[in-house]
Structure 1
Amino acid sequence: MQEKKSSSTSTEMANKNPKKANLLDHHSIKHILDESVSEIVTSRGYVEDVRMSNVRLLLGTIIIAIALVAQFYKKKFPENRDFLIGCIALYPFYFCFFNGILQLIIHTKEKNAILFTYPPEGSFTSTGLVVSSKLPRFSDLYTLTVASADPKSISAGQPVEFTKSVTQWFAKDGVLVEGLFWKDVLALLDEYAIEPKKKK
């Protein structure tokens, strides 16, 4: 039943406006594939977990708010001289501190992740997924990895991945052959689902 539903969903997606990438642009190819992966995973009932994105947005908002306060402080120069000197003196601290936190999140949590999810509704597992991808510059080999968002959980599955040439999924004019790509990604999700769970 699940397989039938998945194949009908992939057919529907393929019938929509075709996705086209610039085959000479590495970023364009990766963006199209990553975007499609997110659609495929969420079509399986996984809901995107945007907490990491929200933390990054919050930190960015704080940095902007500090800059706006310094810019639009109600007193004019030279009355605001001491305030401006304080802002200028504190700017490197704020910038390094908040930027450091952002970089820490990217390097420890996000890495190559393109999607974090919650577990599917009604599922027995208590962990969602982290889906990562790599497409090295000057390479046609796209690596997609599906792993547990909480690897230490008893219900976490073993990570699975495939590495395939992007030439298998794109026509000569740069249009993504979604049916083929959906088939490969769905097969990877199925492989993750049947992988033996970790032993405690």
Structure 2
Amino acid sequence: MTDKKGDTTASSTTSNSKNTPKKANLLDHHSIKHLLDESVTEIVTGKGFIEDVRMSNIRLLMGSVIIIIALFAQFYNKKFPENRNFLIGCIVLYILFNGILQLIIHTKEKNAILFTHPPAESFSSTGLVVSSKLPRFSDMYTLTIASADPDSISAKPQVEFTKSVTQWFTKDGVLVEGLFWKDVEGLVNEYTRESKKSK
């Protein structure tokens, strides 16, 4: 009997967490964009696209290397000026790896919020890059879906929409998920339709 009650409590907790409205601070540009971007990721992965975490792993690896270099420079067991050459080497490596990390972010990621593999049942050999923009002091949110490999033979034309965030939020900052999901799913469907037309 206790087990059944436990199961009921667990399932009700899960359903409550799913039914909890998503809320953003409407005065905070980053809060709005973060909430919308998270929802986009849920919608796209819910359509069968599997997230490609390679770029995130590369950034984490580079960030870890930068931290290790800084720690070595801080806790090296010789005092200045004996450790002068070692510190110079650490500074050069720190700048080098930071530069590489910024180059990756600037050239590969840009405004991307999600990289995906192609769906399992798809004949396409390329996944998606989903990007978003919400300029500061603007209410216009731009969502773009493009091919992860533009040079691929199966790459398709990118699709995008630009809409005011006021269409998706109540005055209290609660996201009206039905409206937002409809718009994002429409864009994903437009991209997949483009893919079918191009075949």
Q: Taking structure 1 as the reference length, what is the TM-score of the superposition?
A: 0.85
Structure 1 counterpart of 2:181: 182
Match of 1:60 among 59, 63, 80: 63
Deviations 1:35-76 (A, max 9, x none): 000000000111111111111111111111122223334x45
Distance 2:121 2:85 in 1: 54
Q: 1:169 to 1:69 in 2, by over 3 A?
A: same
Match of 1:38 among 13, 37, 41: 41
What letter corresponds to residue 26 of structure 2 in structure 1? L
CA drift at 1:197:
6.9
- 8 Å CA contact 2:69–2:94 kept in 1: the answer is no
2:31 aligned with 1:28: yes
Structure 2 counterpart of 1:169: 168
Larger relative contact order, structure 1 or 2 (CA cutoff 8 Å, min sep 6): 1
Distance 1:161 1:38 in 2: 15
Q: Taking structure 2 as the reference length, what is the TM-score of the superposition?
A: 0.85
Structure 1 counterpart of 2:11: none
Aligned Cα root-mean-square deviation (Å):
2.2
Structure 2 counterpart of 1:157: 156
What are the residue-to-residue correspondences of 1:1-200 with 2, within 5 Å?
16-73=19-76, 75=77, 77=79, 82=82, 84-195=83-194
Distance 1:90 1:72 in 2: 14
CA drift at 1:122:
1.9
Structure 2 counterpart of 1:5: none
Deviations 1:137-196 (A, max 9, x none): 111100000000001111111100000000000001000000100000000000001115
Q: Which runs of 4+ in 1 moved over 6 A?
A: none
More displaced 10-residue stretch of structure 1: 135-144 or 14-23: 14-23
Q: 1:172 to 1:68 in 2, by over 3 A?
A: same
Distance 2:152 2:50 in 1: 19
Deviations 1:88-141 (A, max 9, x none): 212331122111101111111101000000001121111000000000111110
Q: 1:91 to 1:118 in 2, by over 3 A?
A: same
Structure 2 counterpart of 1:3: none
What letter corresponds to residue 71 of structure 2 in structure 1? L
Distance 1:198 1:126 in 2: 16
| Runs of at least 5 residues in structure 1 that lack an aligned partner in the other structure | 1-11
Distance 1:157 1:169 in 2: 28
How many correspondences in the alignment?
Answer: 185
Q: 1:198 to 1:65 in 2, by over 3 A?
A: farther
Amino-acid identity (%): 70
- 8 Å CA contact 1:118–1:129 kept in 2: the answer is yes
